[in-house]
Chain A
Amino acid sequence: MYRTGIEPPERIWWKKIDRHEKVWVWIAFAWCMVLFAMMPIWHLRGGQNPSGIRHRVEPADYQARVAEFIQEYQVGTDSGFPVVEPPPGSDVYLQATSFSWIPVLRLQQGAEYVLHLSSLDVNHGFNLYPLNINFQVVPGYDYGLRVVPNEPGEFHIICNEFCGIGHHLMVGKIIVEPADAEQGGDR
């Protein structure tokens, strides 16, 4: 005897499942296991993971570290922002404040860097446009991500976490130089 969902069933409702319904339960369960397995598998095999090197940091200390970084590797300015070209393999510091990303970075295609993200005031959002790589930038936390730029070009950083009335003005820049141009320069 079937009932609708608004009628009380008999006291004991723990009954055998129809064979066909059971098939769906197990298929759905198997799919859930695939969904779960994909994440550890990607950590082992895939190239894109949000793990990073994560620390707490005092905003003032981070600001000092960024200033030091700019002083060490600055190669010019762009629209009033320092342009910084750190050597491949180095730690790169990006500072988010309302409403700017400092500094402008110049990186080499194919080289690995540790890109540090932190904020001095409120939450900000790191969106590398047009690649669509997104990370949360939280004040008091240093998020160090190993990155390998795989294509040359000019990329923008769009802030995509609401940070105040000038949120839409908060755009930064990363330039990636092609790998062969660098080798040509060396010769």
Chain B
Amino acid sequence: MSLFRTCPTTGLQVHRTADRLIQANAVAATVALLIGGVAALLVLLTRWEVVLLLDAGMFYRMLTVHGMNMLIFFIIFFEMAVLYFASAVLLNCRVPAPRTGWIAFALMVIGALMVEWTMWTGRADVLFTSYVPLRAHPLFYLGVILFAVGALTVVGHFFGILTIARREKTYKGSMPLVTFGALTAAAIAAVTLLHGAIIYIPTFLWSLGLMEVDPQMYRLIWWGLGHSSQQINVAAMVSIWYLLGALTVGAVVLNEKVSRTAFVLYVLFISMASAHHLLVDPGMGPAWKIWNTSYFMYMAVLASMLHGFTVPAGVELGMRLRGAAQGLFGWLKRAPWGDPGFSSLAFSIVVFGFVGGITGVTFGTEQINIIAHNTLRIPGHFHATVVSGTAMAFMGITYYVIPLIFRREIAFYPLARIQPYLFALGMLIFSMAMTFAGTFGMPRRHWNASFTGAVFQPEFSPAVNLVMGVMAVGGLIAIAGGAIYIVVTVVSVFFGKKMAADDSGLGAEGRGLPPGITHPPRALVEEDRAALGPSGRLGPVPGTMVLVFIFLAAFITYYFVNWALLSFLWEVG
């Protein structure tokens, strides 16, 4: 068998090692998603106090399992697959060090297994953040270190593939935008994983009784890992947005300069976000907090607001180029809403921006954090970013990774079509209910807000308890969406119908084939600009122009309402 295969859809030369590394990492990610999902269900059914399923000890244990599996194992394994895809596959390049690739993968799996063992056996009931001086079994910290070293190796490998592709001239011109985005994700990953090493190695030694670790210093550096790794997710997610746009509707890039500059802003400023978790901490002063929480004057927020324009604008222009040019929103009306890749993309952008982004910037404001820190508002925010945003985008791309890389058709396609709708709707209800309950001071990471057995008894109003019920319903809908995803992907990968070798080139029709590639807009029109006709007062992408101003209005409103809420409190300072 040849070392390479030619992708019948794109004509790219795909190194089979890249195929296998992508497959292995994607499978590991799905296993972590399954474990984290089961834990999610148990945690949810406990916080829904009508059920109160687990006892306190088991609740915190499952919360630890949920956090580690979702935020570390699922996301990072998936990102490793994305790195191989964006480099070796998109650049037409070989994987230079297959053995290193497999050793890195093995390190990550061994690290993950060590962490799983300590968590499931009750040796690491310290939650995802494992704040010192809460103490876990040394193997918990060692497992994280091994996992991080493995991931760091993949990042290095990725940089190696980029260098070789350039030297061997496997592509013409500059690297594609999606690869460029993945490159920024990898750069952020290098910084992040370094923070992980800096904090977990001393903590590992501390757990063996060999040295001291200052609790405030731990929080500072740990969040250099904990929050910055969410910024890997953002950069990877935005790259996937461009990728999904290209695959589903042939979305175009309006201006490479704007999109790439925005990615670079992420690399430069986003790792300052550790401060978001330390705004009401005693260790730092106001100047440090303001400077860092704003990522040097909100330059990383600017980056996200640029992508929030360019991605939908690319989709709009792609749709207009293929003829859907009627009115402001004709392109949205005629978009392929039945394609799970496209619906995932659309929901990922909307929920990430409107719920996750706006709440994130607002809660990350130094003073407003006083009314948000450690309440349910925080998980409300990050379930909208990392789940409805990142995980949703990752799920969406899977519907193309399975046909293109695993060479299998998607099984149960009608189920796959409704999956993004269920998942997005559930997560939207869930995260908004969480955010709302948090506004009333509902604590996060809390077994029982009825305070059973406590000396003093604060009482939440029945309205807040009702909101917690709504949260549970939203969570259950989302978990159903997640379960469908796992069933569809597992059945497709192991039992799905094999894709035929030659029925998927230009103009081909078929389930799971990326219409953006088989039917590119450029095949339909000769002169791009001419086809669009003269652009009106709102420019070439009028629909997106209107949408971004609706977004800005929502942002401004939510932001200043929170300042107003803050101003009613006791004076404090």
Contact = CB atoms under 8 A, between A and B. Distances in A.
A50 B443 CA distance: 19
B251 A50 contact: no
A167 B545 CA distance: 48
B559 A35 contact: yes
Contacts of A13: 174, 256-257, 260
A84 B371 CA distance: 26
A136 B373 contact: yes
Contact of B258 (A17, A118, A163): A17
A180 to B, nearest CB: 18
B548 interface: yes
Given A51-B573, A135-B370, A148-B570, A122 B134 contact: yes
Contact of B365 (A39, A54, A100, A121): A39
A65 B164 CA distance: 64
Interface residues of A, number: 92
A187 interface: no
B134 to A, nearest CB: 5
Contacts of A46: 367, 563, 566-567
A118 B289 CA distance: 20
Interface string A155-181: 010111111111111111100000000
A124 B259 CA distance: 42
Contacts of A135: 280, 370, 373
Interface stretch (A67-75, A88-96, A125-133): A125-133
Contacts of B478: none
A165 B60 contact: yes
B468 to A, nearest CB: 15
A172 B456 contact: yes
A142 B282 CA distance: 7
Interface in B311-367: 313-314, 317-318, 321, 361, 365-367
A27 interface: yes
B72 to A, nearest CB: 18
Interface in A20-40: 20-21, 24-25, 27-29, 31-33, 35-36, 38-40
A21 B258 contact: yes
Contacts of B257: 13-15, 17
Interface in B122-143: 125, 127, 131, 133-134
Nearest to A20: B539
Interface stretch (B106-114, B227-235, B241-249): B241-249
B215 A140 contact: yes
Nearest to A147: B572
Interface in B526-573: 528, 535, 538-541, 545, 548, 552, 555-556, 559, 563, 566-567, 569-573
Contacts of A148: 570-572
A163 B125 CA distance: 10
Contacts of A31: 305, 552, 555-556
Contacts of B515: none
Interface in B400-451: 439-441, 443-449, 451
Interface stretch (B37-45, B290-298, B499-507): B290-298
A126 to B, nearest CB: 9
B455 A47 contact: no
A87 interface: no
Given A5-B314, A140-B216, A168 B448 contact: yes
B366 A4 contact: no
Interface in B74-125: 90, 125
A186 interface: no
Contact of B282 (A40, A136, A172): A136
B452 interface: yes
B516 interface: yes
B214 interface: yes
Nearest to B125: A165
Contact of B572 (A40, A146, A172): A146
Nearest to A117: B282
13 contacts: A5-B245, A6-B243, A20-B535, A35-B298, A35-B301, A39-B294, A79-B456, A132-B439, A158-B443, A165-B60, A169-B455, A171-B455, A171-B456
10 A-B pairs with least C-beta separation:
A20-B539, A5-B242, A143-B282, A4-B246, A160-B443, A32-B298, A13-B256, A2-B252, A156-B458, A5-B177
